[in-house]
């Protein structure tokens, strides 16, 4: 299992993670065994947004003998009231709910203390001013949480989180379908009203991924499979089916993404996700599915899929395009982006304009033209 550095947290997290929300529907020992099986496959990050005691107990018991090997995303503001999940910033409920999480998970700390689920400007304003955020900071300052994170489905809110400087990573919903949708305060609306009029990655989402890369704020991915809808052409907004490996590759090729957290019911589903690590380029190829789907297209946009390779001048075209996209968002090229670009070795100036890459690009990206612009931008 490959690992990636989770931004400025410096934690090395597995590319494939564990989204825990399905645990409660299994018998306890079966769910414990599932987490332990995931650990054997090299998975080392798990999300626990769930406030119910059963889910929290399952995770705590499963990792009790290997707590130091796991990174837990534990949510602050997810509470259990009268047998029901309630999202709140009311400290009468927030504090005891988090203390319950801490006790059930074990170890005396939570690796990633997640400000739970902010999707609206109103909730952002209230959460970032007053006792709730004071409590989050106190937990971090006293070492009870090692790092501050936040979960959201709204790219506008996510960008504000990145700009704070103290929120070190975000849990964000990413898949090819969501990436076509503009920001929304209503998560439910994102699951409806798909039509063929949309095409290409929403600029606000693309901007978020670039900002995370620039600011070194790592992203962990939720809803990477769109609740399973993308596995079936009949329910996929594209009118075409994807495989788990293709969707994992899509998520992991977004700038800033470090791990994609998948939901599992069986060891076989874990195997299907972990198969990404040994998959061939053809098996990972999501671009052909999108390009040939009857609905939607990313015409003219680089999705960093790698179809353009190989280059006779050994330019990593996808990475050059990624650094160009990151750089042009700023008044001046950020030093960090410049250094990453120069570290590639063969830069855009090595392009001979053969356009062989353009023949292979499924999205009609004018690669040779972009290489000229990139060389001008970076000066090499």
Which class for 82: exposed (0-12), middle (13-18), buried (19 or more C-beta within 10 A)? exposed
Q: Is there a single domain that holds both residue 325 and residue 274?
A: no
The CATH number of whichever domain residue 101 belongs to comes to 3.20.20.100
Q: Is there a single domain that holds both residue 228 and residue 91?
A: yes
Could you list the pLDDT tens digit for every one of the 380 residues in the chain?
A: 999 999 999 999 999 999 988 898 899 999 999 999 999 999 999 999 999 999 999 999 999 999 999 999 999 999 999 988 989 999 999 999 999 999 999 999 999 999 999 988 999 999 999 999 999 999 999 999 999 999 998 899 999 999 999 999 999 999 988 887 766 656 555 445 544 444 678 889 999 999 999 999 999 999 899 878 889 888 787 888 999 999 999 999 999 999 999 999 999 999 999 999 999 999 999 988 888 887 666 667 777 777 788 899 999 898 898 788 778 767 788 776 787 788 888 999 999 999 999 988 877 889 999 999 999 999 99
- SS3 helix, strand, coil % of the chain, rounded to 5? 45, 15, 40
Q: Is there a single domain that holds both residue 259 and residue 358?
A: no
> Where would I find the beta strands (DSSP E) of 20-159?
45-48, 71-76, 78-81, 84-87, 110-115, 145-152
Q: Which helix (H) or strand (E) holds 363?
A: none
In a domain, 330, yes or no: yes
Q: Is there a single domain that holds both residue 274 and residue 321?
A: no
Q: Is there a single domain that holds both residue 283 and residue 329?
A: no
Q: Which domain holds residue 355?
A: 317-378
Q: How many whole angstroms separate alpha carbon 295 and alpha carbon 238?
A: 5
In a domain, 303, yes or no: no
Q: Is there a single domain that holds both residue 228 and residue 345?
A: no
């Amino acid at each position: 299992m490959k690992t990636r550095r989770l931004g400025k947290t410096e934690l090395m997290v597995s590319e494939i993670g564990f989204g825990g929300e399905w645990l409660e529907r299994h018998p306890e020992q079966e769910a414990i065994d599932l987490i332990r099986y995931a650990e054997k496959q090299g998975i080392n990050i798990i999300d626990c947004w769930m406030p119910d005691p059963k889910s929290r107990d399952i995770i705590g018991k499963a990792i009790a003998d290997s707590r130091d090997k796991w990174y837990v995303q534990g949510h602050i503001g997810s509470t259990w009231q009268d047998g029901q999940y309630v999202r709140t910033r009311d400290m009468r409920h927030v504090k005891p709910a988090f203390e319950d999480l801490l006790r059930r998970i074990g170890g005396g700390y939570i690796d990633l203390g997640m400000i739970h689920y902010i999707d609206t400007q109103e909730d952002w304003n209230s959460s970032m001013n007053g006792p709730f955020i004071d409590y989050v900071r106190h937990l971090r300052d006293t070492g009870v949480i090692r790092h501050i994170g936040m979960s959201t489905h709204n790219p506008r809110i996510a960008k504000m989180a990145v700009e704070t400087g103290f929120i070190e990573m975000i849990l964000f919903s990413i898949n090819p379908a969501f990436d076509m949708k503009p920001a929304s305060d209503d998560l439910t609306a994102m699951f409806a009203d798909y039509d063929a009029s949309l095409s290409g990655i929403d600029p606000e989402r693309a901007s978020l991924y670039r900002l995370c890369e620039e600011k070194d704020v790592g992203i962990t991915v939720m809803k990477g499979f769109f609740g399973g809808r993308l596995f079936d052409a009949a329910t996929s907004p594209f009118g075409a089916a994807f495989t788990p490996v293709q969707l994992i590759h899509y998520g992991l090729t977004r700038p800033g993404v470090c791990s994609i957290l998948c939901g599992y019911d069986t060891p076989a589903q874990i195997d299907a996700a972990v198969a990404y690590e040994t998959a061939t380029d053809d098996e990972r190829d999501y671009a052909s599915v999108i390009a040939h789907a009857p609905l939607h297209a990313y015409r003219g946009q680089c999705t960093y899929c790698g179809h353009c390779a190989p280059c006779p001048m050994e330019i990593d075209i996808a990475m050059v395009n990624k650094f160009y996209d990151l750089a042009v968002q700023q008044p001046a090229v950020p030093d960090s982006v410049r250094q990453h670009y120069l570290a590639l070795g063969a830069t855009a100036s090595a392009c001979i304009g053969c356009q062989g890459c353009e023949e292979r690009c499924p999205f009609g990206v004018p690669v040779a033209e972009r290489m000229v612009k990139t060389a001008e931008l970076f000066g090499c």
